[in-house]
Amino acid sequence: MRRTNVTGEATATGGEARTADGTGTTGEIGGPGRTSGPPITPPPHPDGPDRPGNPDGPNRPGEPDSPDRPGEPDSPGRPGEPQHPGHLHHRNRANGPNRRYWRAGFQRGRIELGHLVHNPKEMSGHLINVVVALALGGFVSRTVPGTQVPMTHLTIAGFAAYLLFQVGLLNLPQILVTEREEGALLRLRATPGGIPAYLVAKSVLVVVVALGTLAVLLGSAALLVDGPLPHGLGGWLTLLWVTALGLLAVVPLGAAIGAVLPNPREALALIMLPSMALLITSGAVFPITSLPVVVQKVATVFPLKWMAQGLRSALLPDAARAAEPAGSWELPTVALVLTAWAVIGFLLAVPLLRRATRRESGSRLTERHRKAEQNGAGAA
């Protein structure tokens, strides 16, 4: 039934068509009359409760073998399936499943966000950064050297950058590793469209969490410690693109890291240290000019410095440029470095995620659980 709603133009397989399709579906999630809403209490089947396959059941046993089901309505356009001819279904191949998978992805993202919001432990994990930022921002009272800009503003801007950085490179890998370990990735691999939907869901989750914490941080800082807010339209636009590009720089990278790290516990240890080091050396929370030059040079390779610098340009008055190493915001360089990281991240993430998914199988899962139990860290 759902397939009949699909418009013909979505048949185009280009990314734009899919996106348009996907965003179209978001609004419909949970909407009335959509099957995606949880119809937990549907009308009872007339044939009685013991026939789960009512609509289809009577036909199936007598149904001959697979060759007689070529019209499996949603065969996606797989070139390797010549045994599914049926030109009637070619149209549906391209958009029927895709539409379903996008919707599943958004639904999944929404549900996972719900779980996050209702999990006090995880929520406090995200909010503790805001609290630390506020405490630090309220504590510093000097001004940024050489300027009249309160140090608080620099600190808050730096923490804002770090929050984005952390969501992409700390939280996301942890989620990926955990879900891989528990078998969610395998289950989705065994589900048609499961992996695309998973990626959509994770993108939704990461973006919402990042923007949410950012908004909470800037909002509460502005209210409580006289924190910075963008000046004028230009400031807001800068905030927008630096945030977007910053996320693009760290999220694929985080996905790549999550694809290769061994297990949740080790993962945390492995990522935590470098990211703390970067937090300090990137000049996020105090002016980078006060650090040795070598350290400064190293930090320029990584995205955090540029995210922080970009956010400062959005949040701090122009006069604060004086405290920057180059004496200016270097926005073109910010864009360039972040884009470069985004490209690197995608180039790494796609094959690594493929590999991680491909390697998943029941026996590997069993083996890992066995090991985990032997280590006395059995999750169950």
Partner 1 sequence: MTTSLRTSPATTPAAATTPPAPRPAASAHPVIRVRDLRMAYGATDVLHGVDLDIHHGEVFALLGPNGAGKTTTVEILEGFRQRSGGDVTVLGTDPARGGDAWRGRIGLVLQSWRDHRRWRVGELLTHFATYYPDPRDPAELLRLVGLTEQAGQRVDQLSGGQRRRLDVALGIVGRPELLFLDEPTTGFDPQARRRFHVLVERLAREEGVTILLTTHDLAEAERLADRIAMLVNGRIRALGTPAELARQAAARAEVRWTADDGTPRRERTADPSRLVWELHRDADGPIAGLEVRRPTLEDTYLRMLHQEGGDGSGAGERDGEDEDGGPGDGSGERCENGEERVA
Q: Is 202 in the site for partner 1 (CB under 8 A)?
A: no
Task: Give the burial string for 50-63 (b: 16+ CB within 10 Å, else e).
Answer: eeeeeeeeeeeeee
Q: Is 290 in the site for partner 1 (CB under 8 A)?
A: no
Q: How many residues does the chain have?
A: 380
> In this chain, which of 83, 88, 232, 332 binds partner 1, going by CB under 8 A?
83
Q: Is 75 in the site for partner 1 (CB under 8 A)?
A: yes
> Amino acid identity, residue 49?
P
**Residue 25 C-beta: closest distance to partner 1, Å:** 10
> In this chain, which of 24, 192, 212, 325 binds partner 1, going by CB under 8 A?
192
Q: Is 107 in the site for partner 1 (CB under 8 A)?
A: yes
Q: Is 28 in the site for partner 1 (CB under 8 A)?
A: no
**Residue 375 C-beta: closest distance to partner 1, Å:** 16
Instruction: Provide the mask over 33-62, with x wherever binding to partner 1 is found by CB under 8 A and - wherever it is not.
Output: --xx-xxxxx--x---xxxxxx-xx--xxx
What letter would DSSP give residue 33? Answer: T
Residues 6+ apart with CB under 8 A from 64: none
Segment interacting with partner 1, rule: CB under 8 A, options 66-74, 221-229, 241-249, 342-350: 66-74
Three-state SS at 150: strand
Question: Do the beta carbons of residue 243 and residue 337 sit within 8 Å?
Answer: no
Token pair 């044939």 is found at 47
**Residue 270 C-beta: closest distance to partner 1, Å:** 23
Q: Is 124 in the site for partner 1 (CB under 8 A)?
A: no
53/243 Cα distance (integer angstroms)? 49
Residues 311-330 that bind partner 1 (CB under 8 A): none
**Residue 140 C-beta: closest distance to partner 1, Å:** 38
> Amino acid identity, residue 209?
V
Q: Is 67 in the site for partner 1 (CB under 8 A)?
A: yes
**Residue 73 C-beta: closest distance to partner 1, Å:** 5
Q: Is 76 in the site for partner 1 (CB under 8 A)?
A: yes
Q: Residue 170: how many CB atoms within 10 A of its CB?
A: 21
Residues 146-185 that bind partner 1 (CB under 8 A): 179, 182-184
**Residue 19 C-beta: closest distance to partner 1, Å:** 19
Burial environment of residue 124 by CB neighbours within 10 A (0 to 12, 13 to 18, 19 or more): exposed
Task: Give the burial string for 241-268 (b: 16+ CB within 10 Å, else e).
Answer: ebbbbbbbbbbbbbbbbbbbbebbeebe
Segment interacting with partner 1, rule: CB under 8 A, options 222-230, 247-255, 305-313, 359-367: 359-367
246/70 Cα distance (integer angstroms)? 46
**Residue 257 C-beta: closest distance to partner 1, Å:** 20
**Residue 368 C-beta: closest distance to partner 1, Å:** 8
Tell me how many residues contact partner 1 (CB under 8 A): 70
Per DSSP, helices labelled H in the chain are 15-28, 59-62, 90-117, 120-139, 151-166, 172-182, 184-189, 194-224, 232-260, 264-281, 293-301, 303-315, 331-359, 362-374
**Residue 38 C-beta: closest distance to partner 1, Å:** 4
Question: Do the beta carbons of residue 210 and residue 170 sit within 8 Å?
Answer: no
Q: Is 194 in the site for partner 1 (CB under 8 A)?
A: yes
132/272 Cα distance (integer angstroms)? 17
Site residues for partner 1 per CB under 8 A: 2-3, 35-36, 38-42, 45, 49-54, 56-57, 60-67, 69, 72-76, 78, 80-81, 83-84, 96-97, 100-101, 103-104, 107-108, 111, 115, 119, 179, 182-184, 186-187, 189-194, 197, 360-363, 365-366, 369, 379-380
